[in-house]
Amino acid sequence: MGIAITDHYDVDAPSRDQEFLFNPAEQQQEIAKVEMELWKEIREKDFQIMRGIEVGLQPGSMAKIKEFTGKYSFDTVIASIHFVDGTDPYMGTYYGDKDYKYAFSHTLEIMYETALAYKDFDILGHYDYVARYSPYGHGCRDITMAEFGEWIEPILRFLAQEGKTFEINTKTYKNHKGYIPQLDTAILRRFRELGGEALSLGSDSHNLLRFGDEFEKYAHIAKECGFRWLVYYKGRKPQYYRIEL
């Protein structure tokens, strides 16, 4: 049992706000301090605290991202898309007059291109972040294999071929603006067909209230889709554990 602390690091964030940056040395010193203070409890419960980072990928920023991450050692590196065309979907301004098909497919296209250019990551985070905060009506807020397979397929194929991990981010499947986006299990099944070995569960909690939120539910879904293992990373090495439900 354990937890991975994966602070956000987005270079060239549109707002230039420091909330999108952090000092890895300070992060890891703080984690080490906690480990020392709680070493007895951690040892007795065989609990691990992993040092991680969630890197925000953006076209035009890849050289800076590679330079930064190359300076530090992490247990796990998550690659995610937080900004598209200079704006964060969370703020709502990204969608503008775009229809849902373009808004989603454009983001998936950028995700594939930047992941391919970066490669030095372990887990692809919340592929459906752009759907989470979208303003569209019922039936137009889910990313499905049937409708977006043209853009999802290359992502899944790349991850499977490179031995990388696909994340189920449970925060997406909460009530956002009166709608609960749905996880399309056809996407998970296709990843398995392409050779994906394991999935990662992430709660994207940002606080203790949602730590590990609904992991059991989505572990069950992963098992139904043909996965026998889930994975976390230690020293950038995958640690597989069997889905026992």
Give the model confidence (pLDDT) of 102-148 as tens digits.
999 999 999 999 999 999 999 999 999 999 999 998 789 899 999 99
Mean pLDDT value across residues 35-53: 81
By C-alpha distance, which of 245, 244, 243, 241 is closest to 2? Answer: 241
* Of the listed ranges 48-52, 195-199, 237-241, the one predicted with least confidence: 48-52
Residue 219 has pLDDT above 70, yes or no: yes
The DSSP code for 87 is B
pTM of the model: 0.91
Which one-letter amino acid corresponds to residue 17? Answer: D
45 pLDDT more than 80: no
Residue 119, classed as helix, strand or coil, is coil
What single string gives the DSSP state of each residue in 124-156?
E--TTHHHHT----TTSS---HHHHHHHHHHHH
pLDDT of residue 50: 86
CATH architecture of 2-242: Alpha-Beta Barrel (3.20)
SS3 for 75? coil
Each residue of 68-103: b (16+ CB within 10 Å) or e? bbeeeebbbbbbbbbbbeeebbeeeebbeeeebeeb
> Could you report how far apart the first and last alpha carbons of the chain are, in Å?
16
Distance CA 51, CA 73 (A): 8
- The pair of structure tokens assigned to 180 is 């609960």
Pairing status of strand 237-242 against strand 76-80: unpaired
Mean pLDDT of 191-215: 86
> pLDDT tens digits for 155-188?
999 999 999 999 999 998 988 878 888 899 999 9
More confident residue, 56 or 175: 56
The pLDDT tens digits for 78-102 are 999 999 999 999 888 999 999 999 9
The number of CA neighbours under 13 Å toward the Cβ of 29 is 5
Evaluate whether 58 touches 13 at the Cβ level (below 8 Å). no
pLDDT band at residue 225 using 50, 70 and 90 as cut-offs: very high
Left (φ > 0), alpha (ψ -120 to 50) or beta: where does 222 sit?
alpha
Say if residues 135 and 175 touch (Cβ distance below 8 Å): no
Going from N- to C-terminal start, the domains of the chain cover 2-242
Give the pair of three-digit tokens for residue 240. Answer: 């597989």
Between 70 and 243, where is the model more confident?
243
Question: Is residue 228 helix, strand or coil?
Answer: coil
pLDDT in tens, 19-38: 677 788 888 888 888 878 87
